[in-house]
Copies of this chain bind each other. A is one copy, B any other.
Amino acid sequence: MTTLNENNPPEGCPIEGLLKTLSGKWKPQIFQLAAQGPLRFNSLLRQLPQSNKQSLSVALKEMEEAELLVKTIIQQKPLHIEYELSSKGRAMIEVFRQLEAVLLNPTA
Protein backbone atom coordinates (compact mmCIF):
# COMPACT_ATOMS: atom_id res chain seq x y z
CA MET A 1 0.00 0.00 0.00
CA THR A 2 2.90 2.33 -0.46
CA THR A 3 1.07 5.15 -2.05
CA LEU A 4 4.31 6.51 -3.45
CA ASN A 5 4.69 3.69 -5.93
CA GLU A 6 1.11 3.40 -7.00
CA ASN A 7 0.66 7.08 -7.66
CA ASN A 8 -0.73 7.89 -11.05
CA PRO A 9 1.54 10.60 -12.30
CA PRO A 10 -0.64 13.50 -13.38
CA GLU A 11 1.42 13.82 -16.49
CA GLY A 12 1.04 17.01 -18.39
CA CYS A 13 -0.44 18.96 -15.52
CA PRO A 14 2.09 19.37 -12.73
CA ILE A 15 -0.17 21.04 -10.22
CA GLU A 16 -3.06 18.61 -10.56
CA GLY A 17 -1.86 16.44 -7.70
CA LEU A 18 -1.26 19.34 -5.37
CA LEU A 19 -4.66 20.80 -6.17
CA LYS A 20 -6.33 17.53 -5.28
CA THR A 21 -4.34 17.28 -2.09
CA LEU A 22 -5.43 20.77 -1.12
CA SER A 23 -9.08 20.43 -2.02
CA GLY A 24 -10.05 17.11 -0.46
CA LYS A 25 -12.66 17.23 2.24
CA TRP A 26 -11.52 18.94 5.48
CA LYS A 27 -8.17 19.79 3.98
CA PRO A 28 -8.73 23.53 3.54
CA GLN A 29 -9.93 23.70 7.14
CA ILE A 30 -7.01 21.64 8.38
CA PHE A 31 -4.67 23.90 6.48
CA GLN A 32 -6.28 27.00 7.92
CA LEU A 33 -6.00 25.69 11.47
CA ALA A 34 -2.45 24.49 10.91
CA ALA A 35 -1.55 27.99 9.78
CA GLN A 36 -2.49 29.17 13.27
CA GLY A 37 -0.37 26.69 15.17
CA PRO A 38 0.45 23.00 15.56
CA LEU A 39 -2.40 20.54 15.49
CA ARG A 40 -3.16 17.50 17.54
CA PHE A 41 -5.43 14.75 16.36
CA ASN A 42 -8.21 14.64 18.93
CA SER A 43 -8.24 18.38 19.30
CA LEU A 44 -8.68 18.72 15.54
CA LEU A 45 -11.51 16.22 15.69
CA ARG A 46 -13.23 18.46 18.22
CA GLN A 47 -12.59 21.61 16.23
CA LEU A 48 -14.21 20.06 13.16
CA PRO A 49 -17.30 18.56 14.76
CA GLN A 50 -18.84 17.30 11.53
CA SER A 51 -15.73 15.39 10.58
CA ASN A 52 -14.58 11.95 11.64
CA LYS A 53 -11.43 10.08 12.66
CA GLN A 54 -11.03 8.23 9.42
CA SER A 55 -11.30 11.20 7.10
CA LEU A 56 -9.03 13.33 9.24
CA SER A 57 -6.53 10.51 9.47
CA VAL A 58 -6.49 10.14 5.70
CA ALA A 59 -6.36 13.88 5.13
CA LEU A 60 -3.44 14.34 7.53
CA LYS A 61 -1.57 11.44 5.98
CA GLU A 62 -2.02 12.78 2.46
CA MET A 63 -1.02 16.28 3.44
CA GLU A 64 2.02 14.80 5.11
CA GLU A 65 2.88 12.80 1.98
CA ALA A 66 2.48 15.96 -0.06
CA GLU A 67 4.99 17.54 2.32
CA LEU A 68 2.58 20.21 3.42
CA LEU A 69 2.52 19.00 7.02
CA VAL A 70 5.20 17.58 9.26
CA LYS A 71 4.29 15.03 11.89
CA THR A 72 6.29 15.12 15.08
CA ILE A 73 6.19 12.75 18.00
CA ILE A 74 6.68 14.82 21.10
CA GLN A 75 8.72 12.76 23.54
CA GLN A 76 7.35 14.21 26.71
CA LYS A 77 5.63 12.96 29.81
CA PRO A 78 2.33 12.03 28.20
CA LEU A 79 3.94 11.61 24.72
CA HIS A 80 1.83 13.11 21.99
CA ILE A 81 1.87 13.96 18.30
CA GLU A 82 1.86 17.27 16.53
CA TYR A 83 1.16 18.23 12.93
CA GLU A 84 2.53 21.54 11.72
CA LEU A 85 3.01 23.27 8.40
CA SER A 86 6.26 22.43 6.66
CA SER A 87 8.23 25.10 4.85
CA LYS A 88 6.37 24.12 1.70
CA GLY A 89 3.13 24.35 3.62
CA ARG A 90 4.01 27.83 4.83
CA ALA A 91 4.87 28.81 1.26
CA MET A 92 1.34 27.84 0.35
CA ILE A 93 -0.10 30.50 2.61
CA GLU A 94 0.84 33.18 0.10
CA VAL A 95 -0.77 31.21 -2.68
CA PHE A 96 -3.94 30.98 -0.66
CA ARG A 97 -3.85 34.68 -0.01
CA GLN A 98 -3.53 35.41 -3.72
CA LEU A 99 -6.33 32.97 -4.42
CA GLU A 100 -8.52 34.74 -1.92
CA ALA A 101 -7.74 38.06 -3.55
CA VAL A 102 -8.84 36.73 -6.93
CA LEU A 103 -11.96 35.39 -5.33
CA LEU A 104 -12.90 38.67 -3.68
CA ASN A 105 -12.13 40.91 -6.63
CA PRO A 106 -15.09 40.92 -9.05
CA THR A 107 -13.15 42.94 -11.61
CA ALA A 108 -10.14 40.62 -11.42
A residues bordering B, Cβ < 8 Å?
1-4, 6, 8, 10, 12-16, 18-20, 22-23, 28-29, 32-33, 36-40, 43, 46-48, 87-88, 90-92, 94-96, 98-100, 102-105, 107-108
Residue from the list B10, B90, B107 in contact with A29, Cβ < 8 A: B10
Chain B residues closer than 8 Å to A36, beta-carbon distance: 2, 4
Chain B residues closer than 8 Å to A32, beta-carbon distance: 10, 12-13
Chain B residues closer than 8 Å to A4, beta-carbon distance: 33, 36-37, 39-40, 43, 47
Nearest-CB residue, chain B, relative to A20:
B23
A and B contact pairs by CB, cutoff 8 A, 26 listed: A1-B37, A1-B38, A2-B37, A3-B37, A4-B37, A4-B47, A6-B46, A8-B47, A10-B32, A10-B48, A13-B29, A14-B100, A15-B100, A16-B23, A16-B28, A18-B102, A19-B19, A19-B28, A87-B107, A87-B108, A88-B102, A91-B108, A92-B102, A95-B95, A95-B98, A98-B98
